[in-house]
Structures are given as C-alpha cells and as structure tokens.
Amino acid sequence: MSFSHLGLSDKVLAAVAAAGYTTPTPIQDQAIPYVLARRDVLGIAQTGTGKTAAFVLPMLTMLEKGRARARMPRTLILEPTRELAAQVKESFDKYGAGQKLNVALLIGGVSFGDQDSKLMRGVDVLIATPGRLLDHTERGGLLLTGVELLVIDEADRMLDMGFIPDIERICKMIPFTRQTLFFTATMPPEIRRVTETFLHNPEKVEVSRPATTAVGVSQFQVAVGCEPHEKRETLRRLLRDAKDLQNAIIFCNRKREVALLYKSLQKHGFSVGALHGDMDQSARTQALDQFRKGEIPLLVASDVAARGLDIPAVSHVFNFDVPHHADDYVHRIGRTGRAGRAGTAISIVTPLDQKSMAAVEKLTGQTIPHAEGSAPADAPTEASSDRSEKARESRSREGSRGGRKPRREREREPRRPHGGRGPAPQSQQTAAFNPPGNPPPRTPSIGRPERAPAQRDTISEPADHSHLPAFLLRPVRARV
C-alpha cells in the first residue's frame, strides 16, 4: 500500500517520496480521502502515528488551486501551544517546498509588526494559537470570512487549557459552510460535546481506542517517599542506571518545579535544558532545538512539551510528577516509542500519587508494574518513615522558636490578669530561674499594691520557657 491511491497531487507525492516515506499510517490512509472529499473529519489515534500529515498532505493538494487575498487566509489551523504551531509550519515547509504557498505563524512572543506584514501579503495557510489570533482580529488586522478549512489540532488539550470559549468565538467569525477537521488522541466526554457543536455529520476515523498507549513503550513505576529530596535522588539514580538511555524528557506538573529540578540536575553535573510556558519564546525554541540536535540529552519540561512534539529518537520519558489528569499521561509517554521504535516510560510515585496512578491504570486499561527493587508507594520504607518523623519534629521545634507557639505550650502558660495568655509576670519569671536560696529581685512599684492573681490564674507546675533564647532568661533587677 502506498500514498498513490489516496488521491494526492503529483507535487505532494513527490515531496512525500523525497522525505523517504512510502507507506501511509492507518490514520493517514483513512482520513486523507475524506478530507479531499470535503467532509468534516473527527480523527482519533495514538500520539506519534502521523496525525499532522493526515491533514497537511490533503491541504497542500487542495490549495494548489486558488489565490490568497490580503488579510484573508484561506485555511486556518489552531494549535494549543507555540511549539506545536511551529512544528506544523515545519511540516508545510517540508512537504510544500515545490509549491508557492504563503504560510504564516501567529504565536505569542513575536512582534505584531512582523506578523502583520505577512498577513498583508496574503496567506494560504494560517497557523495560530487562539490567544494571538484573537488579538489580531480585535486590532482589525485579520478577517476570517474567507476561511474554507478549519483544523483544530489536539482538541483535548484545547479543552484542558481553557481555549474552548476562544474557539467558539473564532468559529463565529468563520463561514458556516467551512470544512472542519478535529484531531485528538483522547476523547473525554467534554470534547465529544464540543465536536457535536462544531462538526456537521463528520466522518469518524478511529484507528485505536482512545487513550491507548503505544505497544513499544515499556512502562514502570518507582515508589519513593513524600520528601522532595528523595524524588530528586531517585531520579538521578534512574538516570545513571538506565540502560540504552540516549536522551530523555522529564515531566513536572508545575513550572516552578521545572526550574528547581533543572537547577538541581545542573548542580549534579547533568547536561540538561528546561522548557515551560513562562520562558521567553527565544529561550523555548533554543532549548527545543538543542534537545532535537542532541546537544543536551535531558530536557525538563512542563506539559507544554507533552502534546504533539515530534522528536522521533526520544528513548526515555520520566514522570517526575505523576500528572493530575490521566489523559496527560498518555500524551507524555507518547513522546517516546514513536514511529514503531521502542521506548521506556518511568513514573516516580509517592504515596500521595496513588490516586492519580490508579486513574492512569483505569484509563489505559493496564497495570503499570513496579520497577525491580521498588517497594509499593503505600508501604514506605522504615528509613523514609524515620526521616519523615524527624522532619516533623524539626518543623515543630522551629515553629516553637518563633512566631505562634504550639497549642500545648500556650495552654501551659499562666494567664494574664485580664484573662489573656502570654509570658508570666516578671516576678514569677525571675523566681522560676533564680537558684534556690537567693532572694528574688525587687520589682518596681507603680503607685498601687499589686493584686494577687486569682486562684484560677495559677498553675500547679512552672511555665515552660524552653522556647525562649538564653539572653531573655537571665534575671533582671529593677532599679527603685
């Protein structure tokens, strides 16, 4: 089976052959004919199975006829992240090298002036993130009334990132008679409802059950304690002991954790880069290019790198944090084992991650085994329990030295005459800490006799002042 029977143009077939591809993937084989027939398509397939080419190749064939007008793109592709948008543009540059098509990229981190100049020349293919696209439309520099084909890529990620309201606004600006293509690897119920709104009698192309993982990916989990330093130590050990590790992507749930782990690995001598959403676009592009070229073997990233990035030779994926959403696990480990290659995915699991890990196993329909020598996360080792207990005791002591004291110590303090709690009167303090047999220091008179505290204000044992610094415990004699 070859690409020749799919109905692609001669120019596109020549570009595919020049790229070294001879056989279409299942999603390409089934989706391309429907796209060329101008049907709406809902494509569901595992990540790494060629979904991008499933809409790029037929679009190139369809765009050979016609001409773009200024500020009115002919086709529109929406992507959730800048990296995915740039990757789709690379696909058009690769397969459309023999065609005179204008392809524009509208993403954040780039000046509006350069993007406006490209829109003025006329755009055949507009690839954009929703936020930047709406910025251009609100400025009046972009009209979507000439869009003939709309592609919403990674639709489930669009939902997770809160882009669905923006997509609804964008769709109202596009003609109702447009052709719409949805491509996704997972199909949560919310996305199913969205497809019913945006698609009209679509052809459903499902080459695999939603949320399934690639067969060539070996999955393991490693149990650790809850302390952050234990997770970092375990990750360093796994990186040093991993067999056939060529390069790896290490996923964290938060941007702050990405930065901390990046600095930690650098400190321990690893060649590593970082990628998360708060970085400048130039820094993000540089880190991704260095990782693709093999200049840095490790990349610590947030979920911005979990969707659609095509880096075929990734040998390992490490989940430093188990994802909160089970769908994200499928996309993360989909960065390895692409195009039929073998890969390894290892998740570091704490006792707090058990619920998330159970959701992953339920979604994927398989049990993820523990790595050899790894105890279950719900049964922490004796050493980790001792360390956790010592850490709690240390935090308790620190809390008693400054700030609000523990409740038990507050309850043991004598009450003030007005009913509040606090340090005992000076006469009681000095009496408590003077050696036996010494006369107590004299206290200043303030013009009236001191009222003896009521019986309810006294306690049967001396107040505990171990939390006070030594210089505050020295006796003080008041001058009369």
In tens, the pLDDT along 51-79 reads 899 999 999 999 998 888 889 999 999 99
Q: Count Cβ atoms below 10 Å from residue 468 Cβ, excluding itself.
A: 13
The per-residue pLDDT for 212 is: 64
**According to the model, what pLDDT value does residue 401 have?**
47
Distance CA 153, CA 176 (A): 19
Identical fold between 3-206 and 217-379: yes
Q: Residue 222's closest CA among 211, 209, 233?
A: 233
Q: What are phi and psi of 184, to 5 degrees?
A: -155, 160
DSSP character string of 216-253: TEEEEEEE--S-HHHHHHHHHHHHHH-TT---EEEE-S
Task: Give the pLDDT confidence score for residue 331 in this predicted structure.
Answer: 81
Can you give the pLDDT at residue 292?
87
Q: Has residue 455 got a pLDDT over 70?
A: no
Give residue 195's pLDDT: 83
The yes-or-no verdict on residue 402 having pLDDT over 90 is no
150 membership: H or E segment, kind and range: strand 149-153
181-235: pLDDT as tens digits: 998 877 777 778 888 888 888 999 987 666 566 677 899 999 999 888 999 999 9
Q: And the tokens for 11?
A: 């120019």
Domain boundaries 217-379, corresponding CATH code:
3.40.50.300
Q: With contact defined as beta carbons under 8 Å apart, do 205 and 34 qualify?
A: yes
> Of 200, 221, 472, which Cα lies nearest the Cα of 366?
221
Confidence check: pLDDT of 424 > 80: no
Give the pLDDT score at 452: 47
Report the pLDDT value the prediction gives residue 323, as an integer from 0 to 100. Answer: 92
226 vs 267: CA distance, rounded Å: 22
Element (H, E) at 407: helix 407-412
Instruction: Give 252's pLDDT tier (boundaries 50, 70, 90).
Output: very high
Tell me the pTM.
Answer: 0.63
pLDDT of residue 352: 93
The topology under which CATH files domain 3-206 is Rossmann fold (3.40.50)
> Which one-letter amino acid corresponds to residue 54?
A
Tokens representing 372 are 């050899």
Q: For the stretch 17-49, what's the b/e string if a residue is b when 16 or more beta carbons lie within 10 angstroms of its beta carbon? A: eeeebeebbbbbbbbbbbbbeebbbbbbbbbbb
pLDDT score for 157: 77
Distance CA 110, CA 96 (A): 24
Q: How many other CB atoms are found less than 10 A from the CB of residue 426?
A: 14
pLDDT over 90 at 169, yes or no:
yes
Please state the rounded mean pLDDT for residues 452-460.
44
Question: Across 159-168, 242-251, 413-422, which has the greatest mean pLDDT?
Answer: 242-251
Overall average pLDDT of the 156-180 stretch:
87
Distance CA 403, CA 424 (A): 18
Is the pLDDT assigned to residue 392 strictly greater than 90? Answer: no
Q: Please state the rounded mean pLDDT for residues 82-97.
A: 90
User: What is residue 364's predicted lDDT score, i.e. its pLDDT?
Assistant: 84
What span, in angstroms and rounded, lies between the C-alpha atoms of 275 and 298?
11
Residue 430 has pLDDT above 90, yes or no: no
Q: What is the pLDDT of residue 335?
A: 83
If you average pLDDT over residues 380-401, what whole number do you get?
A: 48
Q: Which residue has the higher pLDDT, 338 or 453?
A: 338
The torsion angles phi and psi of 349, rounded to 5 degrees, stand at -115, 125
Residue 345 has pLDDT above 90, yes or no: yes
**Dihedral angle over CA of 324, 83, 105, 30, nearest 10:** -80
Question: CA-to-CA distance for 34 and 29, rounded, in angstroms?
Answer: 10
C-beta of residue 251 within 8 angstroms of C-beta of residue 332:
yes
pLDDT of 403 over the 90 cut:
no
* The pLDDT of residue 215: 74
* Residues ≥6 apart with Cβ < 8 Å to 348: 221, 222, 224, 231, 234, 235, 238, 318, 319, 320, 321, 322
* Angle, CA of 133, 139 and 142, to the nearest 5°: 55
pLDDT for 368 equals: 93
* pLDDT value of position 378: 46
Q: Best-predicted range by mean pLDDT among 80-84, 153-157, 335-339?
A: 80-84
In the predicted model, is pLDDT for residue 451 greater than 70? no
- Cα–Cα distances in angstroms (integers) from residue 213 to residues 159, 408, 440, in the given order: 21, 53, 79
Whether 175 has a pLDDT exceeding 90, the answer reads yes
Give the confidence band of 330 by pLDDT, cuts at 50, 70, 90: confident
Q: Identify whether the C-beta of residue 265 lies closer than 8 Å to the C-beta of residue 272.
A: yes
Q: What is the tens place of the pLDDT at every residue in 273-315?
A: 999 888 887 888 889 889 988 999 999 999 877 765 767 688 9
Q: Residue written as tokens 């591809």?
A: 21
The whole-number pLDDT of residue 272 equals: 95
Of the CA atoms within 13 Å of residue 87, those in its CB half-sphere come to 20
Could you give the count of Cα atoms lying within 13 Å of 247 in the half-sphere of its Cβ? 23
Q: 398 or 258, which is more confident?
A: 258
Distance CA 445, CA 112 (A): 77
pLDDT over threshold 80, residue 447: no
Mean pLDDT over the full length of the chain: 80
Max Cα separation, the chain? 109
Dist. CA 449–CA 349, nearest whole Å = 66
**Percent of the chain predicted with pLDDT > 70:** 75
Pick the more confident residue, 425 or 350: 350
pLDDT at 188: 75
Q: Domains of the chain: which residue ranges?
A: 3-206, 217-379, 406-480
CA torsion sign, 66 to 72 to 78 to 83? positive
Phi, psi of 62, deg, nearest 5: -70, -30
